[in-house]
Amino acid sequence: MDTLSGFFAVLDATLRVSTPLILAAMAGLFSERSGIVDISLEGKMLAAAFGAGAVAAVTGSAWLALVAGIFVGIGLGLIHGFACITHRGNQVVSGLAINILASGLTVVLGIAWFSQGGQTPSLGSESRFMPIELPFAEAAAQSIPVVGQFYSEVISGHNLLVYVAWLAVFGTWWVVYRTRFGLRLRAVGENPLAVDTAGLSVSGLRYSAVAICGGLAGVAGAYLSTAQNAAFVREMTAGQGYIALAALIFGKWRPMPAMLACLMFGFLDAMAIRLQGVELPIIGEVPVQAIQALPYVLTVVLLAGFIGRATAPKAVGIPFLKER
Amino acid sequence: MKVNTSGIALPAWLEIGVIPVLNIIMALFFSGLIMLTIGVNPIEAVGIMINGAFGYDEAIGYTLYYTTNFIFTGLAVAVAFHASLFNIGGEGQAYIGGLGVGLVFLTLDSYLPTVLLIPIGIIAAGLFGAIWAFIPAWLQAYRGSHIVITTIMFNFIAAAIMVYLLVNVLIKPGQMSPESRVFDESAWLPFMHEFLAWFGIEVTRSPLNLSLFFALFCCFFVWVYIWRTRWGYELRTSGFSEDAAKYAGIRPKTVIVSAMCLSGALAGFVAVNEIMGVHHRLLLNFTAGYGFTGIAVSLMGRNHPVGIIMASLLFGVLYQGGAELAFEIPKITREMVVAIQGLIILFSGALALMLRPWVVRIYLKFRSVDEVTSA
């Protein structure tokens, strides 16, 4: 039973660390499916984490913090859209600018407003998203072996935003594949000229995509500073935006596979901590750095076409010029 | 009458003079707004920055020391840009370039004289940087994976490798912080104050070293390579249009690989300044974001060596002046410079064409449309 609960603890940690990845990957999915490359997930998450952390510290409300995170994310998304859609700028350059801007501005504002070396003040439990006990978790754990334990130790006891992330995956799938908007969104990422010919606004669709992207990245950021941690810490995203991007590519720009990739990367992350200094049979001790680098290595290998093919939306990265 | 302005050619002084300067002014204007938001007088801040960057000879030394790094990374990005490739991996390539220097020096520094060590170190930095750029380049050329994504991933892989090697392998025994032992003094690139002292000129100590001259040489080399050689012609042609290049008998795949290797080598030369010139040992995070700043530098300098020197100098001023500013005004931290850098990339890069229609409209006030379009 001991190995089982140890395994459950790893799965539990996996869900916690994958949540921001899943939210950010879904964010990136909207943007990239509409034809806008988004390497700025990292920056949006970081800025939103700061916005949420700051608002939670000032108002004491986790909900206002979440709203603030979403607004910050949407704001940066619209800046990205303004540069890439309206002015047809280079999408990678614009994304990079947002990342660097967020990295600098969060610390500058953090120090100016809170004077705690770039952090926001620590949040009490009332201004954070706290773990929720799902119904019957206690009873299930006692009456049903394994499955009940799984339910109470892995599924139950997360904060609200973890469950929101799962909903976001389903929601993304539904919007992208089952609604008119989703059909148009996919079309505009594959062949914007056809969408334009059909009398739809390419810019309008892409702007809504980058706004949705910003909103979801904002939730991911709010999760970091008000749910997973109790404050904003400088550079707290630590490359998770890029991992989410890697997961999106790994999942071939589809919601479910992207979520699985996030869970896999999250699992690797959770394992890395546990495997520190542990001798494994045959391979011996695995360096933590090797496990940390694995998501990036796997993505490179996948992109190189050695394990299946990842085909990006056809029009991704190409600015659309409406014929006059 | 509504005119599609993108088709109208502007004279060179407007295109490469006025518009870039307007973009930078926009970026600095927003930087000023940020300063006002946190209650700092921007005019005063600019004064402190200029004084902190040029006010005394130590400050000038620091400014030029930063400038050296930016010239290397700026050139690296520019060379790739001319081949229509976006090398975001300068950071990782510089890091691995440092590994090259470290490995060579930790093995050879007690056996060889300075005259051999310095060139070997430079070659190692370039070679390792080039190797780190070669893999993404090869994957882009022959396997069709996107170079932006792969170079981003390679930055993280490089960081993981360096942490592993420094913590477990190259660390000086009996030491807590992950750093290698200090190289033998024969492997140190002379500091500028030492160099000038040979000629009887006294200047204050600063990290500035002879790699500045090497950086300027690289600028000249890149200019010759891109605009005065066959390879540069092939590089620009295949950057402009891959199909046209193929038709002209150029092999774009070879060009992609060679351009990225040159780009990686240039980024790797950051290690010449940092590892050979300043730290004299291998350590973590010596690249400190210089690779990313190179993108801003290259965009600002319009991918031309002369522009890159000017943009590098501006960033040198921002870095050194920013450090001084953080010292003088406690409300401001060095990250202010990072934010300014982000704004410059935004306005000089992503929004580079935002102001162009306005400039064209003003220009057309002085010229008739027919005259311009027929020209």
With pLDDT > 70 as the criterion, what percentage of chain B qualifies? 97
pLDDT category of residue A308 using cuts at 50, 70 and 90: low
**pLDDT at residue B1, rounded to an integer:** 43
pLDDT (tens digit per residue) in A60-73: 999 999 999 999 99
Q: Dihedrals φ, ψ of A23, to 5°?
A: -60, -45
Buried b (16+ CB within 10 A) or exposed e, A21-34: bbbbbbbbbbbbbb
What chain A holds in terms of domains, given with CATH numbers, is 2-303 (1.10.3470)
What's the mean pLDDT in B162-172? 92
Shortest Cα distance from B272 to chain A (angstroms)? Answer: 25
**pLDDT at residue B368, rounded to an integer:** 66
CA nearest neighbour of A170 among A250, A245, A255, A249 = A255
Shortest Cα distance from B92 to chain A (angstroms)? Answer: 13
Residue with tokens 């060139």: B119
What DSSP string runs through B185-245? GGGPPPBHHHHHHHTT------S-BTHHHHHHHHHHHHHHHHHHSHHHHHHHHHHH-HHHH
Q: Dihedrals φ, ψ of A51, to 5°?
A: -55, -45
d(CA A312, CA B308): 33
3-state secondary structure B83-108: CCCCCCCHHHHHHHHHHHHHHHHHHH
For chain B, the average pLDDT equals 91
DSSP-based three-state secondary structure for A235: coil
Dihedral angle, C-alpha B29, A42, B314, B32, nearest 10 °: 20
For residue A99, which residues of chain B lie inside 8 Å, CB to CB?
342
What chain B holds in terms of domains, given with CATH numbers, is 67-311 (1.10.3470)
For residue A83, which residues of chain B lie inside 8 Å, CB to CB?
346, 350-351
ipTM of the complex: 0.90
d(CA A275, CA B130): 34
For residue A289, which residues of chain B lie inside 8 Å, CB to CB?
160-161, 163-164
| Token reading at A118 | 């770039």
Residues 6+ apart with CB under 8 A from B149: A245, A246, A249, A299, A303
Q: Dihedrals φ, ψ of A52, to 5°?
A: -65, -45
Does residue B370 have a pLDDT over 70? no
A275-289, B280-294, B353-367: which is most confident: B280-294
| Token reading at A142 | 């006692």
Buried b (16+ CB within 10 A) or exposed e, B177-197: ebbbbebbebbbbbbbbebee
- Bridge-based pairing state of the strands A158-159 and A284-285: unpaired
Q: What angle do CA B299, B301, B305 make, to 5 degrees?
A: 125
**Do A230 and A128 contact (CB within 8 A), yes or no?**
yes
Beta-bridge partners for A159: A131
| Token reading at A105 | 């501005």
Neighbours of A124 (CB within 10 A): 11
Query: Inter-chain contact B160–A292, Cβ cutoff 8 Å?
Result: yes
**Do A222 and A63 contact (CB within 8 A), yes or no?**
no
Query: Inter-chain contact B160–A289, Cβ cutoff 8 Å?
Result: yes
pLDDT (tens digit per residue) in B58-97: 999 999 999 999 999 999 999 999 999 999 999 999 999 9
Query: How far is CA B348 from each of CA A262, B24, B75, B95, B203, rounded to the nearest angstrom?
Result: 34, 6, 17, 26, 36
Residues 6+ apart with CB under 8 A from A48: A68, A69, A70, A72, A73, A217, A218, A219, A220, A221, A222
pLDDT (tens digit per residue) in A183-200: 999 999 999 999 999 999
**Do B156 and A39 contact (CB within 8 A), yes or no?**
no
For residue B134, which residues of chain A lie inside 8 Å, CB to CB?
none
CA nearest neighbour of B275 among B63, B69, B114 = B69
Shortest Cα distance from B185 to chain A (angstroms)? Answer: 32
pLDDT (tens digit per residue) in B182-211: 999 999 999 999 999 999 888 899 999 999
For residue B338, which residues of chain A lie inside 8 Å, CB to CB?
100, 103-104, 107
d(CA B44, CA B50): 10
Neighbours of B238 (CB within 10 A): 26
The answer to whether A87 faces chain B, any CB pair under 8 Å, is: yes
Query: How far is CA A226 from each of CA A23, A63, A158, A244, B279, rounded to the nearest angstrom?
Result: 15, 10, 13, 20, 40
- Bridge-based pairing state of the strands A131-132 and A284-285: unpaired
d(CA A244, CA A223): 15
Does residue B270 have a pLDDT over 50? yes
Q: What angle do CA A101, A104, A106 make, to 5 degrees?
A: 100
With pLDDT > 90 as the criterion, what percentage of chain B qualifies? 71
What's the mean pLDDT in B101-108? 95
pLDDT (tens digit per residue) in A72-84: 999 999 999 999 9
Q: Using CB atoms, which residue from A88, A97, A304 is nearest to B342?
A: A97
Max CA distance (Å), chain B = 77
What DSSP string runs through B98-159? HHHHHHHHHHHTTTS-HHHHHHHHHHHHHHHHHHHHHHHHHHHHHH---HHHHHHHHHHHHH
Q: Using CB atoms, which residue from B160, B331, B343 is nearest to A101?
A: B343
Does residue B150 have a pLDDT over 90? yes
Q: What is the DSSP letter of A103?
A: H
With pLDDT > 70 as the criterion, what percentage of chain A qualifies? 97
Residues 6+ apart with CB under 8 A from B206: B57, B58, B60, B61, B62, B65, B191, B192, B193
